[in-house]
Amino acid sequence: MRRLVPTILVLSLGVATAALGVHTLRARPTASGPARDEAITTVNDWVRDNIPAGSRLAFGSFLGYEMALTLSDDYQVSHARHGNVSSSVTAPDGIKRTGELPSDDWLSIDTAPRNINEFQAFRGGWLVRDLVKEGADYWIYSVGTDTSAQTVLAAATPEHGFEQVAHFDSPIQATGTKLETYIFKVDPGKVAFDPNVMYFSPEALDRMLDLLERDPAAARDVAARLEPQVVIVPASPEDGALMERLHRLAAG
């Protein structure tokens, strides 16, 4: 028995050390940590001061779960989030979502950060489903990292049924950038989108063109469909060159 004691102690210390290491990894702060905490707290306080309890709040992907968690006791919460998609020369708008039928109501396209062949996208139909059919009174949407799809904000206008009632900045001191949170009051009778307009970030259009240019002949038809629909947001010095590349593909 005496010989077993040191072994047991070593094993116990090893397990404890490993557990401590895992905890340390999970608790390790990130550069945006304080900004995220500020954003969550600011939204929590503003909502409780300005929106009646029992209202339905829909959240975007970035910080959506964290913000919803702090408010779910007094409000109905749901999500209106982007989906990860890929390009396809056979899809109506050049975009496909695995597991879904082809669609032609893609609304906004941003790059996905972890895969050079992927995009973060919204369909107009998804927003109608998640906001109108789910009965959302407000849409709370945060951006500021490469995992947040910000181009959809170009469509969040009064003409499309969105009244911006609040906007908050949360600076990230370490990088000089910031997180931003927008709160929109949703008018369900006005939420609709033009199926012939697609908002692309400059980076997303560049990525799309890189993929289509691998087989220009196969991409000609989809490029021709895309050319009159593309709106680049935000505007960039590369817009002219990007649209010229798209035009060349469409012209064959």
**Residue 240: inside a domain, yes or no?**
yes
Does residue 234 have a cis peptide bond before it, meaning omega lies within 30 degrees of 0?
A: yes
**Residue 23: inside a domain, yes or no?**
no
**Confidence tier at 2 by pLDDT (50, 70, 90):** very low
Q: Give the percent of the chain with pLDDT over 70.
A: 88
Confidence at residue 16, expressed as pLDDT on a 0 to 100 scale: 40
pTM listed for this prediction = 0.86
| Contact status, residue 75 vs residue 61, Cβ threshold 8 Å | no
Confidence at residue 29, expressed as pLDDT on a 0 to 100 scale: 55
**Residue 229: inside a domain, yes or no?**
yes
Token output for 209: 């063109």
**Residue 96: inside a domain, yes or no?**
yes
DSSP secondary structure of 39-87: HHHHHHHHHHHHS-TT-EEEE-STTHHHHHHHHTTTSEEEE---EEEEE
**Residue 204: inside a domain, yes or no?**
yes
Specify the number of domains making up the chain: 1
**Residue 97: inside a domain, yes or no?**
yes
Confidence at residue 15, expressed as pLDDT on a 0 to 100 scale: 38
pLDDT tens digit string along 207-221?
999 999 999 999 999
Query: Which structural domain, as residue segments, surrounds residue 205?
Result: 33-251
**Confidence tier at 24 by pLDDT (50, 70, 90):** very low
**Residue 24: inside a domain, yes or no?**
no
**Residue 123: inside a domain, yes or no?**
yes
